[in-house]
């Protein structure tokens, strides 16, 4: 296919998705020609159908690479800028989104999500590289993902990024100032990123899809201001208000303390997307009463972490109850269970990971009790994956893991193959960190060439269950259950 035909196909995608109107066709074509260093035009056939945008992108990038228009140090920026040609400008996206919203919130998010995939802002092909499997735990099916979607950076690109003077603009990856940002050094390419503006309780927030999604329609809700994560009355209220706008989605926030929070604490943000997480499917272990909130029903969820689930028709009551529980949790200690709200140095250790969703017409919020304290026995965190499980997961147990979806490091893809060989007594390069675990498996199970892969996956799922149990403040045992009920009494005193 000639480069001219490919360019015309690219322009056709833009006309089809509303980026430009037919009046702009020649203009856009000339802009793309210039971008690709071409200074003439040969008439091509009118295409009968719209081609897949990523296929056309590949052809244009291959042409640009042959003609040395970019190198590894700016490949990411170049690609994003190329796709920006077929991405409608923010005002058009916002207008289209809110026009469709009048027909229903799902019409609007369907449009926005489809567009994000079409212009490769959501990187579907990279996401498809992830390894995913399900582990049937006693708490229900847990989802395990070995995360291979983030491409490894070329060493030359890393070296080049180091040479670039670091600027403070945009202040971080989650700032709304990234919309359309070309990228520089280690600051990612955002030319083709678009943000829909939403309002939550009188505050302005941005709504966008995550480039390397961990789950279906994984969206990020960004505060317009660059200020730190905070879980408080306003946060609970914001999460529930989001459900008024998009009742088809769940929304949650990472906790606002290190060790138990997510990777970015410096910029207030939430994560939303399609429902269906394992935790949402878990039932109550025990119903409880919150005597101060008669319009809120509550229960302890049958889950490895410590989860109070509240439901109400009233958003206000639910916000008040959540805030009340947070405030009391922040001062609650039970030294018999190693739970200490405030250490002698005056540092506070308690917070909540909240997740909200609609349930049969009621608002529902899961309050996951968190404690980031450390001690001599557990220097990485008392309620953090303990050392014996860190060969699989040593990163924070953030919002997504809390809900029963493990995001495991890419290194496991190759490391687990060696574990399999080790279990089959074949020549192997097993990493020492996996040996104690593999030896235990060897001692308790028999492995054959046919079942070793499935059995190792199961064993990984078991480790993830243990990791979640480590992160639970009230353990799923007799003492933990009594402890949890003592906390409920404290709430009702």
Nearer to Zn ion, 140 or 170 (CB): 170
CB under 5 A: which stretch of 4-12, 121-129, 226-234, 444-452 binds Zn ion?
226-234
What minimum distance in Å lies between the beta carbon of 267 and Zn ion?
Answer: 4
Part of the chain binding Zn ion (CB under 5 A), chosen from 209-217, 218-226, 357-365, 406-414: 218-226
Q: Say if CB 490 and CB 480 are below 8 A apart.
A: no
Contact track, Zn ion, 179-208, x by CB under 5 A: ------------------------------
Element (H, E) at 8: helix 3-17
Toward Zn ion, which CB reaches closer, 172 or 488? 172
Please select the residue that binds Zn ion; options are 224, 226, 311, 481, rule is CB under 5 A: 226
* 468 Cβ contact list (under 8 Å, min separation 6): 303, 304, 305, 397, 401, 402, 404
Backbone dihedral angles phi then psi of residue 184, each to the nearest 5 degrees: -160, 140
Nearer to Zn ion, 74 or 266 (CB): 266
Q: How far is the CB of 266 from Zn ion (least distance, A)?
A: 6
Residue 155 DSSP class? H
Compare residues 226 and 413 and give the one whose CB is closer to Zn ion: 226
Part in contact with Zn ion (CB under 5 A); list of ranges 139-147, 222-230, 381-389, 442-450: 222-230
With binding defined as CB under 5 A, does residue 175 bind Zn ion?
Answer: yes
Kindly state the smallest distance separating residue 326's Cβ from Zn ion, in Å.
24
Contacts of 191 (CB under 8 A, 6+ apart): 77, 80, 81, 83, 84, 180, 181, 182, 183
CB nearer to Zn ion: give 174 or 326.
174
Q: Which is nearer to Zn ion, 172 or 410 (CB)?
A: 172
Concatenate the DSSP letters of all residues of 127-144 into one string. Answer: HTT-EEEEEEETTEEEEE
Q: What is the DSSP letter of 432?
A: G
- Report the residue number, 226 or 453, with the smaller CB distance to Zn ion: 226
Q: How far is the CB of 246 from Zn ion (least distance, A)?
A: 23
For the sheet containing 405-408, what is the strand order?
131-137, 140-146, 405-408
| 220 lies in the binding site for Zn ion (CB under 5 A) | no
CB nearer to Zn ion: give 171 or 430.
171
Smallest distance, Zn ion to C-beta of residue 218, A: 19
Among residues 171, 341, 374, 488, the one that binds Zn ion under rule CB under 5 A: 171
Buried b (16+ CB within 10 A) or exposed e, 95-125: ebbeebbeeebeebbebbbebbbbbbbbbee
The structure tokens listed for 213 are 């999604």
Quote the tokens at residue 118.
Answer: 């079409």
Name the segment binding Zn ion (CB under 5 A); options: 99-107, 159-167, 182-190, 260-268. Answer: 260-268
**Using CB under 5 A, which of 54, 131, 158, 172 touches Zn ion?**
172
- Alpha-carbon distance of 164 to 177, in angstroms, equals 20
The window from 76-84, 242-250, 267-275, 279-287 that contacts Zn ion (CB under 5 A) reads 267-275
> 129: which residues sit within 8 A by CB, 6+ positions away?
148, 149
Smallest separation (angstroms) from Zn ion to the CB of 227: 8
d(CA 298, CA 364): 10
User: Is there a contact between 363 and 318 (Cβ–Cβ < 8 Å)?
Assistant: yes
SS3 222: strand
Cis preceding linkage at 170, omega within 30:
yes
What CA dihedral angle connects 115, 118, 121 and 123, to 10 degrees?
130
Identity of the residue, 195 or 243, whose beta carbon is nearer to Zn ion in the bound complex: 195
Q: How many residues bind Zn ion (CB under 5 A)?
A: 6
Q: Which stretch binds Zn ion (CB under 5 A): 4-12, 249-257, 265-273, 354-362?
A: 265-273
Instruction: Please pick, from the candidates 29, 123, 193, 267, the single residue that binds Zn ion as defined by CB under 5 A.
Output: 267
Q: Select 171 or 410, whichever has its Cβ closest to Zn ion.
A: 171
User: Rounded distance, CA 450 to CA 445, Å?
Assistant: 14
CB of 399 to Zn ion, least distance (A): 18
- C-beta atoms surrounding 365 within 10 Å: 28
Name the residue nearer to Zn ion (CB basis): 170 or 409: 170
Strands 219-223 and 203-209: antiparallel
Calculate the CA 332 to chain-centre distance. Answer: 30
Query: Any contact of residue 131 with Zn ion (CB under 5 A)?
Result: no
Per-residue mark of binding to Zn ion, 411-450 (x: CB under 5 A)? ----------------------------------------
Binding site for Zn ion (CB under 5 A): 171-172, 174-175, 226, 267
């Amino acid at each position: 296919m000639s480069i001219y035909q490919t360019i015309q196909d690219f322009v056709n995608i833009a006309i089809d998705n509303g980026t430009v109107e037919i009046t702009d066709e020649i203009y856009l074509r000339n802009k793309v020609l210039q971008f690709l260093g071409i200074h003439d035009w040969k008439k091509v056939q009118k295409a009968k159908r719209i081609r897949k945008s990523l296929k056309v992108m590949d052809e244009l990038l291959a042409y640009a690479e042959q003609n040395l228009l970019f190198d590894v140090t700016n490949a990411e920026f170049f690609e994003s800028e190329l796709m920006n040609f077929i991405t409608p400008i923010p005002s058009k996206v916002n207008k289209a989104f809110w026009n469709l919203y009048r027909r229903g919130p799902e019409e609007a998010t369907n449009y926005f999500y489809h567009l994000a995939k079409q212009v490769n802002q959501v990187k579907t092909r990279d996401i498809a590289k992830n390894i995913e499997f399900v582990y049937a735990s006693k708490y229900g099916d847990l989802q395990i993902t070995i995360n291979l979607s983030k491409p490894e950076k070329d060493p030359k690109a890393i070296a080049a990024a180091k040479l670039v003077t670091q600027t403070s603009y945009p202040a971080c990856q989650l700032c709304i100032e990234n919309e359309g940002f070309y990228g520089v050094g280690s600051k990612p390419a955002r030319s083709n990123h678009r943000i829909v503006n939403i309002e939550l309780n009188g505050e302005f927030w941005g709504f966008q899809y995550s480039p390397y999604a961990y789950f279906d329609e994984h969206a990020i809700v960004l505060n317009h201001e660059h200020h730190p994560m905070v879980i408080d009355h306003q946060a609970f209220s914001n999460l529930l208000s989001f459900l008024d706008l998009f009742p088809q989605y769940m929304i949650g926030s990472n906790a606002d303390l290190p060790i138990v929070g997510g990777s970015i604490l410096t910029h207030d943000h939430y994560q939303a997307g399609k429902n269906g997480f394992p935790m949402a499917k878990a039932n109550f272990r025990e119903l409880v009463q919150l005597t101060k909130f008669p319009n809120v029903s509550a229960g302890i969820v049958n889950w490895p972490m410590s989860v109070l689930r509240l439901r109400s028709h009233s958003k206000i009551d639910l916000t008040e109850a959540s805030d009340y529980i947070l405030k009391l949790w922040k001062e609650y200690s039970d030294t018999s269970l190693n739970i200490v709200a405030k250490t002698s140095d005056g540092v506070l250790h308690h917070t909540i990971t909240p997740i909200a969703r609609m349930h049969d017409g009621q608002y529902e919020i899961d309050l996951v009790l968190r404690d980031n304290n450390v001690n001599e026995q557990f220097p990485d965190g008392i309620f953090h994956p303990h050392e014996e499980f860190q060969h699989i997961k040593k990163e924070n147990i953030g919002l997504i893991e809390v809900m029963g979806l493990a995001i495991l490091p890419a290194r496991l893809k190759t490391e687990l193959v060696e574990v399999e060989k080790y279990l089959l007594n074949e020549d192997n390069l097993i990493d020492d960190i996996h040996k104690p675990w593999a030896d235990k498996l060897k001692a308790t199970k028999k492995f054959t060439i046919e079942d070793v892969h499935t059995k190792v996956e199961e064993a990984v799922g078991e480790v993830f269950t243990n990791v979640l149990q480590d992160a639970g403040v009230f353990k799923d045992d007799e003492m933990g259950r009594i402890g949890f009920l003592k906390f409920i009494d404290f709430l009702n005193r």
